[in-house]
């Protein structure tokens, strides 16, 4: 009783203007609980409907659970089924809501401009990062077009990536040789050094720095060649590659551009159906494919960022239909290399007890064919020094196992060199990104990395 009097006296002693907090008593708590119970009883039907709607939305929407450390192939297949028949607007809306760190890679061609305008109309442009690769060999008209695009879409957050190393204006010619009075390739692919330096490396660097869960492209099936079976979504070494215009035609694209008065490169009015670098792009002729004017001297229609895995997939499909083996690839000798395949990957690579330099290559890739003697020499030197175990994996005859993807292996180009360093509970993976790939530069890089602490 005395305690209660002291409490009452204490509360009563507070001044007239004092800020005091009234402690709720048992009666007030019962009243609050009674109010909540009454509210639930009176609105139980509405609460049930809201709960049902939330469950339905969660069931039908692909969620961010697809985008963890690694995107599995089976998940990609399920996404393809879920997005089948969706419009470009629906696909972009889904991507913006679902894919973390979404990026659009664009050269601001007709398809890329459609996507850019759709993002703007959907109110998604400000939250979507736009990336372009400037090879330093673009047409003057392409730079003027970019200025027009920037003025038209002030909300665009553009990031431009350039070649990491400076190069002369004639570098591209160094990968060609004169034959019968005309330029032709030394190898069966795009020029190795020029293509890697100006297109592949900046793209890999952008992906590494931005670390998107997925990236948007403007590729379409109607562009033909390797794109003729293009899905809406692809698994790109653990990232989602999204092609919202996969089923659009050339006519669909231009109808959209004209209807919505979207800016485009004036070179398209001069017969260039696809625009790339100034020295190897020409106007297309009547009856030619949309990308026939690209990479004129190399007889290629792709820049190396999208193609080789698609080429391998096509070969595998052809061999499967004929029940034949993939036996048409040239042999690239490497006497001191440990040969890694899908069956021994876990034992040889994932459980390695020593540092390893692992090359992912394809014998059908011109870059790999050119680099093969160099890597054989690198492997020989490493086998003598004992600095690292030289190994390689042929991705023409083998697919990257899921265990490799789970461990963090990412292959975006051919060839890819990864230094594998065993730690206590996992592997430390360091990818070689320098464009110079001579023996000394690669070996110096290996030694440099080996001196760094394992963290």
Residues serving a catalytic function are: 303
The Cα angle at residue 399 between residues 395 and 403, in degrees rounded to 5: 120
* Cβ atoms 195, 308 nearer than 8 A: no
Instruction: Tally Cβ neighbours within 10 Å of residue 50.
Output: 11
Q: Report the b/e string of 388-405 with b at 16+ CB within 10 A.
A: bbbbbbbbbbbebbeebb
Q: Assign 3-class secondary structure to 215-231.
A: EECCCCHHHCHHHCCCC
CB-based contacts of 131, cutoff 8 Å, min separation 6: 103, 104, 105, 106, 158, 159, 160, 161, 206, 210, 215
Distances (CA, A) of 3 to 7, 8, 23, 26, 364: 6, 9, 16, 18, 90
Nearest to 358 by CA among 373, 342, 374, 379: 379
- In Å, what is the CA distance from 257 to each residue of 105, 268, 346, 356? 19, 12, 50, 51
388 in Cβ contact with 421 (< 8 Å): no
Residue 433 CA to residue 306 CA, distance in Å, equals 18
Q: Record the tokens describing residue 187, joined without a space.
A: 């190898």
Tell me how far apart the alpha carbons of residues 248 and 241 are, in angstroms, rounded to a whole number: 17
The three state secondary structure string of 297-353 is CCCCCCCCCCHHHHHHHHHHHHHHHHCCCCCCCCCCCCCCCEEECCCCHHHHHHCCC
Do 415 and 367 meet the contact criterion of CB atoms below 8 Å apart?
Answer: yes
């Amino acid at each position: 009783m005395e305690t209660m009097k002291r409490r009452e006296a204490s509360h009563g002693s507070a001044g007239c203007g004092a800020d005091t907090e009234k402690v709720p008593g048992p009666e007030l708590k019962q009243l609050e609980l009674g109010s909540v119970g009454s509210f639930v009883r009176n609105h139980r039907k509405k609460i049930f409907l809201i709960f049902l709607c939330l469950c339905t939305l969660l069931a039908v929407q692909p969620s961010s659970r697809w985008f963890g450390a690694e995107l599995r192939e089976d998940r990609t297949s399920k996404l393809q089924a879920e997005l089948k028949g969706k419009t470009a607007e629906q696909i972009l809306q889904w991507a913006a809501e679902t894919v973390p760190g979404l990026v659009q890679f664009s050269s601001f061609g007709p398809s890329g401009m459609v996507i850019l305008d759709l993002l703007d109309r959907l109110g998604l442009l400000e939250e979507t990062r736009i990336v372009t690769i400037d090879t330093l060999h673009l047409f003057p008209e392409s730079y003027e077009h970019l200025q027009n695009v920037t003025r038209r879409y002030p909300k665009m957050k553009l990031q431009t990536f350039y070649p990491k190393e400076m190069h002369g204006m004639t570098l591209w010619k160094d990968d060609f040789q004169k034959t019968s009075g005309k330029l032709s390739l030394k190898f069966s692919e795009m020029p190795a050094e020029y293509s890697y330096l100006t297109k592949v490396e900046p793209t890999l660097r952008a992906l590494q720095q931005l670390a998107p869960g997925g990236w948007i492209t403007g590729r379409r099936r109607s562009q033909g060649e390797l794109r003729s079976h293009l899905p809406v979504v692809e698994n790109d070494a653990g990232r989602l590659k999204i092609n919202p215009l996969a089923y659009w035609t050339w006519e669909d694209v231009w109808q959209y551009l004209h209807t919505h008065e979207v800016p485009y490169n004036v070179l398209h009015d001069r017969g260039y159906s696809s625009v790339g670098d100034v020295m190897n792009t020409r106007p297309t002729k009547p009856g030619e494919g949309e990308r026939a004017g690209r990479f004129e001297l190399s007889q290629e229609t792709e820049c190396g960022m999208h193609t080789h895995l698609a080429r391998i997939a096509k070969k595998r499909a052809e061999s499967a239909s004929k029940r034949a083996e993939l036996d048409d690839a040239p042999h690239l000798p490497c006497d001191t290399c440990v040969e890694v395949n899908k069956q021994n990957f876990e034992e040889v690579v994932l459980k390695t007890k020593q540092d390893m330099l692992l090359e992912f290559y394809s014998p059908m890739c011109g870059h790999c064919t050119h680099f093969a003697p160099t890597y054989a020499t690198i492997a020989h030197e490493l086998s003598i020094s004992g600095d690292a175990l030289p190994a390689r994996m042929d991705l023409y005859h083998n697919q990257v196992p899921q265990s490799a993807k789970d461990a963090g292996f990412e292959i975006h180009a051919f060839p890819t060199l990864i230094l594998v360093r065993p730690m206590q509970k996992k592997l430390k993976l360091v990818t070689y990104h320098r464009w110079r790939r001579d023996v000394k530069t690669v070996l110096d890089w290996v030694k440099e990395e080996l001196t760094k602490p394992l963290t």
